[in-house]
Structure 1
């Protein structure tokens, strides 16, 4: 175990041994977790009243203990992985966003699974982004109820459930708020004596930026640019939707018995996500960033990874501010302790990486000193790597060229592409004054810790891997293998965020890791864009194979194949071109429909 791992992981263990759980089972509270998407540290009225109006969040903050030195990961899927597992995201199989990089390893234990075992009712609504096929979905990971929102439809949303697809009209954030409110009202009348844990993951204010016209008009009248007015209106709409949920909690009579945890998944982004609207530049960004923190979403600088955490429990958690160093990995052990359990992993589970924050919340206890390892979700190879360049092996990733950071006490070391910077965060929160040459010994020690930690995770066999796709999990439903998550590419095929492209020559293809749960006969459907009639493709899993011809369009039934139970490799290879020499523009998914099953919904979240 490296010195860094001792600092980060042994410290919490010694801390746990020093006290008994501060909650007992008979007084276990309900839990409401509200996570927003791309809401920066200054995107609140209480921090930035010149730009925003957020009365509900401001009130929640005034009723809460605010952890003002709370860290998350620099993008959405990594933060969700750490929240769900209490572990560093790279350890969980998540190492990026889309392209198959955002699937939570099937052997990871989630907080929902633990709470469900402890007698909690569990539910999830909103943005999931932790895997989008059988085995990875909320109802597979401990949530009794779950609805996943399509990314990023802020109007007329699509929700995916265990039973199928649900379409809504109007603003999606309001639909999410109503779904959460309905759940709270139902739990208040359940009569089963079970506390609940509701995880509400909002889409806003992730782009594309859209808000109700009356909200946008108000900010335009103040002289704001179109993009800033749209964004400010979106923040106000988000605030109102969270307010609806908090009001439902009050009206249900559950508020006094419910711990509310609120935070954002990463720092702010400047991109509007709309072709008809400019991104934030110049004055817009200055208005949004009055704290003048360095960086934004996707960076390891403070503005990319530092957001406020609000913790409210009326009559138990005293409102105020905690400046203790905390991290999203601390939420899992905190939830366990709220449920009356010791805040650590079960025997046989992977170790948790955080502290319970409950002693801080209830008694103002001091957390032990520790280091926080911060890594980018954009893995780099020497010479540079585009986010969706295929990574054939984790061994290609050299620690020296990654974007990494280490927070230890009041020092923060940043490594970016081989450059080292050292900052005194307490006195220089904007990370402007590099102390690496002034404190070379500190820089060298912290840099070595960073590299040791990254290399340990890289070499663990759990990081930077393609996901395993399960086939035949449910005899009534189809199984999907998404093309954007290959374990290997052949020929000229190119990796991408939601599909593979470049299919042009005989022998082009790709492979996937699969686990056939139920053996038997399966019909195989190829989902493509711009398919060319007559091109021939071979599907092979283990000793079984199928050769079929494409039809015109986006969906081809290739034929039937018998799959034996167990782990294996699925390959899809081009055997011949169409008469005009084409194949398809892109491959999206391979669908397997067992006998008696129906075609599945092509999940797009």
Structure 2
């Protein structure tokens, strides 16, 4: 699909060369609920810049996304329901978007836009599934589902290099976005700023936190509101930059979030929060400033899948028929010229750990929300008269329930090609565009008692290597014949060294003796509330050796021999594979 798109858009770009198209700045926050803004009625929070943006421009007041992070991001970037893009959850490679999906970045890049992403990606960490492989020429941020520390952290650039930063992460990301805008002010640009705040861990400076702590709010809420106020300050910085550079009038500026709030707090009397399919879990703020459009409040249902076609139309970019979009342009709702907007339904599917388990799902029409829980409990609400979902109408509206349930199952079977779980594409190794590939522990699969520190969330490690039966393995695809160098990030106390570690790639094996201990240390974590995710640690690096590999599909396995002490504390964080030469 991408090859056809590239050819099509190269031709179309010649046709419009020289025309003045708008720039695009798209801000997406992480776990900020509908109610985490002053403009949506929050009595505590201070967000004057975002409030002003909303009050002076377009508000999509019933804008729906997914219940969790990665699925929403895939839909926003492609205009397609996440299950069709390969994404069905948030970790263990269930968050990876298919490389062949056409993203907004690729659409804009093929039409002479400069493209940059500054923040959290969360749709694949290795090329071509990472930001660079999906159309972003400039990247500064991280690819995981969350980051461990928000002060003076290391972030990745488009070359795959990790760079030590100074300051608070939202401020740093904004600095880089501003630099990108200034560097490309004479060209069209698409600047995507997916901040990771206010996602956990709950870290923010005293000047933000103490203000809300003094209001008597609990630690998490005080931290979240402080993080949101910091976001607001940075939104103000971005807007000021665009105005100072003379770019504001010709820039589309978007502000939204990826799902409902990550905790119990004010959410405009809606039921639900993050990871639920109730209104409060999937209805988020969406404000759009667009050239030649004025203050409008849209009450009709709109969704993440509509952003791709809407931006394409606003920027006069034709989307070829080869891209099977699920959303539609919302411009008829904005210009008032065509109010013949057909009633529609929006589907939500929130996947459990295992695909075969019963999911939480919902169907939202202009009038009703049907909720199907993981416990197979189905409820129905009239959202026009009961927006807080206080009264279940399912018993007295069996016909509506049956139709909406049938519609959902029909949609699900269609979007999953007959109910098949989206299969994560293999990790690709050996691209000239990305000579280094990192195989993180959570991107692998553990077997025979080897397990993760937790459930397999971002940034965790593998442990519990008891004997040679225990293994962690990754499904990979070598794209070029060549020599590949393997390094391992690990920790192991001196009392447990002396065993052998084996890396197996097909029938080839590297064997290395664990002779160098590394005592890991936990880095300082200025959390406002005790975290549930793992802390950040230091790791040692062991050079494992080289293998010549032919193109093809392999399983990369790591195991130990039986000489290991079963009580060991050996931990494996990741393998780093570098292509040293290719033929």
Match in the other structure for 2:521: none
Q: Secondary structure at the match of 2:343?
A: coil
Change (3 A) 1:340 1:301: same
Which of 132, 157, 160 is the equivalent residue of 2:153? 157
Counterpart in the other structure of 2:40: 47
CA contact (8 A) 1:45 1:53 kept: yes
- Quick check: 2:467–2:564 contact (8 Å CA) kept in 1? no
Q: Which residue of 1 aligns with 2:7?
A: none
Rounded Cα–Cα distance in structure 2 between residues aligned with 1:269 and 1:70: 18
2:470 paired residue number: 508
Return the offset for 1:514. Answer: 1.1
- What's the CA shift string for 1:40-70, capped at 9, x where partnerless? 1111112235211111001100121100010
TM-score norm. by structure 1 comes to: 0.82
Which residue number in structure 1 is paired with residue 443 of structure 2? Answer: 485
Q: Which residue of 1 aligns with 2:530?
A: none
> Is 1:335 aligned to residue 311 of structure 2?
yes
2:413–2:419 contact (8 Å) kept in structure 1: no
SS in 1 for 2:395: coil
Aligned to 2:294: 318
Q: How much does 1:247 deviate? A: 0.8
Match of residue 545 from structure 1: 509
Once the two structures are superposed, residues 536-560 of structure 1 have per-residue CA deviations (whole angstroms, 9 ceiling, x without a partner) of 3443334433333334334333332
Task: Indicate which of 377, 391, 394 corresponds to 1:419.
Answer: 377
Q: Give runs of aligned pairs for residues 149-298 of structure 1, distance below 5 A.
A: 149=142, 151-163=147-159, 164-188=161-185, 190=186, 194-270=187-263, 285=265, 288-289=266-267, 291-298=268-275
Residue of structure 2 in register with 1:562 after alignment: 548
Whole-Å Cα distance in 1 between the matches of residues 491 and 417 of structure 2?
A: 37
Q: CA deviation at 1:445?
A: 1.9
Larger mean CA deviation between 224-233 and 141-150 belongs to 224-233
Q: 1:108 to 1:296 in 2, by over 3 A?
A: same
The 1-side partners of 2:79 and 2:55 are apart by 27
Partner of 1:12: none
1:442 aligned residue (384, 388, 400): 400
Whether the 8 Å contact between 2:137 and 2:158 is mirrored in structure 1 is no
1:214-234 deviations in Å (ceiling 9; x for gaps):
333333444434443333222
The alpha-carbon deviation at position 450 of structure 1 amounts to 1.9
User: Which residue in 1 is equivalent to 2:330?
Assistant: 357
Equivalent of 1:301 in 265, 278, 282: 278
Could you give the per-residue CA deviations for residues 103-147 of structure 1, whole angstroms, max 9, x where no partner exists? 111121111111111111111111111111222221221112111
- Match of 1:276? none
2:127/2:434 contact within 8 Å kept: no
Is the contact between residue 87 and residue 422 of structure 2 (CA under 8 Å) also seen in structure 1? yes
Kept in 2, the 8 Å contact 1:539–1:547? The answer is: yes
1:593 corresponds to? 578
Where does residue 520 of structure 1 map in the other structure?
482
Stretch of structure 1 that moved more, 112-121 or 364-373: 364-373
**More moved, 40-49 vs 501-510:** 501-510
SS at match of 2:547: strand
Structure 1 unpaired stretches of 5+:
1-23, 271-279, 380-386, 598-605
Structure 1 residue 463, shift from structure 2 partner: 3.9
**Structure 2: any 5+ residue segments left out of the alignment?**
1-15, 519-539
Counterpart pick for 1:405 among 333, 340, 362: 362
Counterparts in 2 of 1:177 and 1:571: CA distance versus 1, 3 Å: closer
**Shift, 1:429, TM fit:** 1.1
C-alpha separation between the residues in 1 aligned to 2:564 and 2:27? Answer: 54
Runs of 4+ in 1 over 6 A off after TM superposition: none
Contact 1:539 1:570 in 2 (8 A): no
**C-alpha displacement of 1:152:** 4.5
What is the deviation of 1:346? 4.7
Q: Is the 8 A contact 2:32 2:257 kept in 1?
A: yes
Indicate how the Cα distance of structure 1 residues 248 and 267 shifts in structure 2: closer, same or farther if over 3 A, else same.
same
Distance 1:454 1:538, change over 3 A: farther
Tell me the CA shift for residue 300 of structure 1. 0.5
Distance 1:317 1:462, change over 3 A: farther
Q: Secondary structure at the match of 1:138?
A: coil
8 Å CA contact 2:36–2:42 kept in 1: the answer is no
State the SS of the aligned residue for 1:199.
strand
- Checking the alignment, whether the CA contact within 8 Å between 1:493 and 1:509 is kept in structure 2 is yes
- Cα 1:167/1:440, change in 2 over 3 Å: same
- Provide the rounded CA distance (Å) in 2 between the counterparts of 1:445 and 1:142: 40
